[in-house]
Structure 1
Amino acid sequence: MTKRFWNLFKVSPVLVAAAFFAANSALAAEVNEQVTTNVAQLSESQDSNNTFGQVTSVSQFSDVQPTDWAFQALQSLVERYGCIAGYPNSTYRGNRALTRYEFAAGLNACLDRVNELIATATADLVSKQDLATLQRLQEEYSAELATLRGRVDGLEARTAELEANQFSTTTKLVGEGIFAVSDVFGGDRADTDLDPGNNADLNSNTVFSDRVRLNLYSSFTGTDQLQIRLNAGNIVSNVGSPATATAAATGTGTNMTRLGFDGDTGNSVAIDKVNYAFNFTDAVRVKIDASGGELYENVNSFNPDFASSGRGALSRYGRFSPIYRQGQNGAGLTVTFNPNSAISLTGAYLAPTSGTGGVFGANNPGLNNGLFNGDNTIFGQLTFKPNQAFNIGLTYARSYFAGNAANSLFQGTGSAFANNPFGTGTRTESNNYGVQATFQLSSALAISGWGGYTTADARTGVNAGADADAWYWAGSLALKDFGGEGNVLGVIFGQPPKITGGSIKTAAANVNLDDDTSYHLEGLYKFKLSDNIQVTPGVLVIFNPEHNDANDTIYVGTLRTTFTF
């Protein structure tokens, strides 16, 4: 069949092209392959960007070279007969699969040219013998043409079925699954007193846990987004603890060892996040959180390589500054002005959940904890992004909370004293100041860091009128494409939140709390197994846990595997 085909060059290049359009059996194989790999390519030829334009010289095609095997045939068809069209971007795309629409357009152009030549009596270019040969070739290739026609018809049927049964025309499903193996090592469990002899055994257990999230993203205008997230997991907040135990009862004894992706629902599925974002104008972006609102998801947190809970740092503190945990799991409003400019400003108001399961949250005004009469955070951030190499943010948050187990100064990040310096149940107001920055030194090296200062005042309880000052800082280093494209070697070092001053620090009952300094050291390697699978081994080291050098150093080893789909 190949010999018969190439003998056509002795007849006429224009007939070779027509026969090629009508009879290339290799095209049938390619179309069949497309059926099994990507049915969406069927509509590509109908795209407005794929319209054809007539060319008069083969040199007008930027992707056709004299060394190409079909160059001479294409040159003849273009320059001698003028029946070949190209794409608007001056390409021919000779290796691209041919659709029925393109086949019809190409064949029609050549046949029109043949008719024109016949009408102008240019019989020396097209003879009756040529036309007879073309008819004979069509007959010889009738079986291949019938097969091709059947496969394309099947492709159209399958495409129609997909369109009729697709998930949604406006909604996209995005999932993430985390499976992690963790264990803790060291001497004794941390506590807050200065007597190392009464610390309980670390009593660690190797745990295997999971977290699965399904996000439904809907868009109605193309620039808006409605998010509904379903969440299930059994990763406890204190590594080494059984699912039914509290951090104080077992495990490490300190929240400084918390993982960045923890959360225990007993693997029961719950809707934990509902929000809607849209462009109010071209320069104003608005996001409304009905539940599960997080500041670190609404604004730039300046730690792009480690901010994600599933694909970032392994630890809770290593993800970003604790200032972005103010107003955690809240309902409210976030507005960003000039979000895509070098200088942008964000303001937010969130009323966080202040009890387990949202019982005392913004959704329950009957308990005097409504959207504007309970726990709340007022937040503002000024962002400078002069270029990709340097980004910096200045952040302020004013928070009010009831001082219960659900809400605290730093939302469980840092020492127990730093989170509730005035005691559980004390209504507390705080002013939080932060500065964060990212330096992209090269395509393979990035440095990020943050520092923060908090002043807090007790409004009720036995410590009413007392105040406290707290500091924290951290820095991270990311080596990108280390050992392979998409891999990241990371190191994070810093000091978790610590009470450093204020009247509560010098009170007799608290004089020995947070006297020393804890240090957070984390090393991890994010290995990109595929576009949808990442494996991250790492180790977390906490020196002087709970800012108490009477406590033994604690080591946390974790192997996290993240699947995205």
Structure 2
Amino acid sequence: MINSVGVSEINTMTKLFWNWLKLSPVVFATALFATNSAFAGEVQQDLNQDATSVTQLSQNSSGNNMGQVTSVSQFSDVQPTDWAFQALQSLVERYGCIAGYPNGTYRGNRALTRYEFAAGLNACLDRVNELIATATADLVTKEDLATLQRLQEEFSAELATLRGRVDALEARTAELEANQFSTTTKLVGEAIFNVGGAFGDEKANGTGDDVDDNITFSNRVRLSLNSSFTGTDQLQTRLQSGNLTNFGTAAGTNMTRLGYDNDTDNEVQIDKLNYAFNLSDAIRVKVDANNGEYYENINNFNPDFASSGRGALSRYGRFSPIYRQGAGGAGLTVTFNPKGSLSASVGYLAGGRTNDASSPLAGEGLFDGNYSALAQIAFQPSESFNVGLTYVRTYQNSQGGVNLFESTGSAFASQPFGAVATSSNNYGAQVNFRPTSKLAIGGWVGYTTAEAEAGPDADADIWYWMANLALRDFGKEGNLLGVFFGQPPKVTSNDIGAREDDGTSYHLEALYRYQLTDNIAVTPGVLVIFNPEHNDNNDTVYVGTLRTTFTF
């Protein structure tokens, strides 16, 4: 027994016990968690704690805030089904190296800091030395020591490998910390390579010219600097360049526009600047300094296809055009109860693509130029069902430019009274339903009443709708098959009869996004516009694309 051993044997036993701790990760981790639980509520998680935190830690480790237990059943949050139950039971009943909180809990699932590790290890070894010094009966037998020594020799290679891996991880972590871009900012990038072209007989603009069916190769690049100062806020600064032209010129109708076209002649621009933060747990605020768009600020009910780089190929297929009202402006969007099943949003955007909210000139600025005011109620009783009702009031003048639907419908829908000041009331209903995790069905319907604010007194009604189907993980995890069918914005009645759409255009789109790697997606697709510009006399036009998106 241990009473008969000498000093050298005691030292040997201490060494072997240490090796035993290394050989048994479960018992070792349990012992450390047990001791550290006494001061779990006091130690900060930051590894860069100052001397005050260390002093506080050493004081808490004295045991004043914990109670020694003699049976694992005294812990209310430890169950026999827990994976470390047997190891914990052995440490409690055989070695007495376990303490818990005064309320009878162990809290075995919380994280362990380096400070807690050092203090816990020291306290546990003190207990081991105490037991050895008092020669407690049945603590360690010679057979136990022989077994431990044999296990150490048998697993020496594995232990050496583990030590090497830990050293390598520490070195890699140190290198990453030393070379990280910023402690507050993340760089997010997206690059699109696109091969595409428009096809058909005559253009839809009434000129009689043939469709320009040249195949093009173009690109768009975005770099976003996303900074967070509190952990729940975000300052976004996005740079963009590209040479992706509008196929509306080639086909004679903006109904053929792609959802990611952008032509800056590859000159870099500050495309986005905004800041979002939580005013409280129930209120989320976003301030757009430029290029604000409602579809980025609130739920647009089309999660599979809203992204310009990974979603729909067409401009109209991404989301309801009601979210394009006021696009490009500056302003504020507030969402109430953003994480609840029932939420509400209000927003105001001033300016636009060609109007400047920062200008003090007449007909511009925050309140004298183009503007849009939005209100939306969203209802999401479950993850599989999502519906929203949206209202937007807009005003656009000739100085800022009139384009009610941002080139997603006919020319008459964009300017029902020509290039004169126009106000509109826009109503929309959107829905997305997922009967299974692989299948999503969605769509929208919208109605707009427009009124001429200059020239002759005139009103116009405009309707549009869309239905889409998404098959997720089709053929491979991460892939997406999408089909769209709908009617782009159409002027159904107009006091100016010459600007009323007589026919009906139909939008048909199909795409298949193939996830080549985690960061590369290839999306072939086709867009078909029947009776473009809502004119039954116009020939059908087609757009074929092959979009490759790199994300990093």
TM-score bracket for this pair, using the shorter chain length: 0.7 to 0.9
Displacement, 1:126?
Answer: 3.9
1:223 to 222, 225, 232: 232
Q: What is the rounded CA distance, in whole Å, between the counterparts of 1:475 and 1:175 in structure 2?
A: 31
* 1:524-564 deviations in Å (ceiling 9; x for gaps): 12222333222222111110111112221112111212222
Question: What amino acid maps onto 1:449 in structure 2?
Answer: G
For residue 322 of structure 2, give the secondary structure of its aligned residue in structure 1: helix
Tell me the residue number matched to 2:307.
308
**Aligned CA distance change for structure 1 residues 486 and 153 (closer, same or farther; 3 Å):** closer
Displacement, 1:348?
Answer: 1.1
Asked if the contact 1:18–1:107 (Cα under 8 Å) also holds between the matched residues in 2, the reply is no
**Aligned CA distance change for structure 1 residues 388 and 124 (closer, same or farther; 3 Å):** closer
Q: What is the rounded CA distance, in whole Å, between the counterparts of 1:19 and 1:403 in structure 2?
A: 82
* 1:77-132 deviations in Å (ceiling 9; x for gaps): 77644668999665799xxxx99889867875775455344333347654689889
Tell me the residue number matched to 2:351.
352
**Aligned CA distance change for structure 1 residues 74 and 379 (closer, same or farther; 3 Å):** closer
Question: What amino acid maps onto 2:489 in structure 1?
Answer: P
1:179 to 193, 209, 214: 193
* 1:154-185 deviations in Å (ceiling 9; x for gaps): 75565445434422222222111222211222
For residue 196 of structure 2, give the secondary structure of its aligned residue in structure 1: strand
1:333 equivalenced with 2:332 (yes/no): yes
Q: What is the rounded CA distance, in whole Å, between the counterparts of 1:322 and 1:374 in structure 2?
A: 21
Q: How does 1:78-477 map to 2 (within 5 A)?
A: 80-81=94-95, 111-112=125-126, 114-122=128-136, 125-126=139-140, 156=170, 159-191=173-205, 193=206, 199-238=208-247, 247-248=248-249, 251-355=250-354, 360-366=355-361, 368-403=363-398, 407-424=402-419, 426-461=420-455, 464-477=456-469
**Aligned CA distance change for structure 1 residues 188 and 282 (closer, same or farther; 3 Å):** same
1:541 equivalenced with 2:528 (yes/no): yes
1:522 equivalenced with 2:509 (yes/no): yes
1:486 equivalenced with 2:495 (yes/no): no
**Aligned CA distance change for structure 1 residues 528 and 404 (closer, same or farther; 3 Å):** farther
Question: What amino acid maps onto 1:273 in structure 2?
Answer: K
Q: What is the rounded CA distance, in whole Å, between the counterparts of 2:168 and 2:301 in structure 1?
A: 50
Q: What is the rounded CA distance, in whole Å, between the counterparts of 1:179 and 1:410 in structure 2?
A: 27
**Aligned CA distance change for structure 1 residues 387 and 120 (closer, same or farther; 3 Å):** same
Q: What is the rounded CA distance, in whole Å, between the counterparts of 1:174 and 1:187 in structure 2?
A: 42
Q: What is the rounded CA distance, in whole Å, between the counterparts of 1:100 and 1:44 in structure 2?
A: 9
1:552 equivalenced with 2:510 (yes/no): no
Question: What amino acid maps onto 1:432 in structure 2?
Answer: N
Tell me the residue number matched to 1:18.
18
For residue 365 of structure 1, give the secondary structure of its aligned residue in structure 2: coil
* 1:359-386 deviations in Å (ceiling 9; x for gaps): x411222353111111111111122222
**Aligned CA distance change for structure 1 residues 445 and 159 (closer, same or farther; 3 Å):** closer
Asked if the contact 1:284–1:338 (Cα under 8 Å) also holds between the matched residues in 2, the reply is yes
Tell me the residue number matched to 2:34.
none
**Gapped regions of structure 1 (runs ≥ 5):** 1-11, 25-42, 239-246
Asked if the contact 2:337–2:343 (Cα under 8 Å) also holds between the matched residues in 1, the reply is yes
Question: What amino acid maps onto 1:172 in structure 2?
Answer: K
**Gapped regions of structure 2 (runs ≥ 5):** 1-11, 25-43, 50-60
Asked if the contact 2:72–2:88 (Cα under 8 Å) also holds between the matched residues in 1, the reply is no
Q: What is the rounded CA distance, in whole Å, between the counterparts of 1:75 and 1:402 in structure 2?
A: 77
Displacement, 1:498?
Answer: 0.8
For residue 475 of structure 2, give the secondary structure of its aligned residue in structure 1: coil
Q: What is the rounded CA distance, in whole Å, between the counterparts of 1:366 and 1:415 in structure 2?
A: 31
For residue 417 of structure 1, give the secondary structure of its aligned residue in structure 2: helix
Asked if the contact 1:429–1:457 (Cα under 8 Å) also holds between the matched residues in 2, the reply is yes
Displacement, 1:432?
Answer: 1.1
**Aligned CA distance change for structure 1 residues 562 and 92 (closer, same or farther; 3 Å):** same
Displacement, 1:153?
Answer: 6.5
* 1:368-410 deviations in Å (ceiling 9; x for gaps): 3111111111111122222223222111111111247954011
| TM-score between the two structures when normalised by the length of structure 2 | 0.78
For residue 181 of structure 2, give the secondary structure of its aligned residue in structure 1: coil
Q: What is the rounded CA distance, in whole Å, between the counterparts of 1:388 and 1:288 in structure 2?
A: 28
Asked if the contact 2:226–2:234 (Cα under 8 Å) also holds between the matched residues in 1, the reply is yes
**Aligned CA distance change for structure 1 residues 158 and 435 (closer, same or farther; 3 Å):** closer
Q: What is the rounded CA distance, in whole Å, between the counterparts of 1:341 and 1:91 in structure 2?
A: 28
Displacement, 1:222?
Answer: 2.1
1:501 equivalenced with 2:496 (yes/no): no
Q: What is the rounded CA distance, in whole Å, between the counterparts of 1:550 and 1:451 in structure 2?
A: 26
Tell me the residue number matched to 1:3.
none
For residue 183 of structure 2, give the secondary structure of its aligned residue in structure 1: coil
Displacement, 1:471?
Answer: 0.7
Identity of aligned residues (%): 63
For residue 309 of structure 1, give the secondary structure of its aligned residue in structure 2: coil
Q: What is the rounded CA distance, in whole Å, between the counterparts of 2:106 and 2:480 in structure 1?
A: 40
Q: What is the rounded CA distance, in whole Å, between the counterparts of 1:335 and 1:100 in structure 2?
A: 41
For residue 516 of structure 2, give the secondary structure of its aligned residue in structure 1: strand
Q: What is the rounded CA distance, in whole Å, between the counterparts of 1:61 and 1:102 in structure 2?
A: 26
Displacement, 1:326?
Answer: 0.4
**Aligned CA distance change for structure 1 residues 154 and 448 (closer, same or farther; 3 Å):** closer
Mean Cα deviation higher: 329-338 or 275-284: 275-284
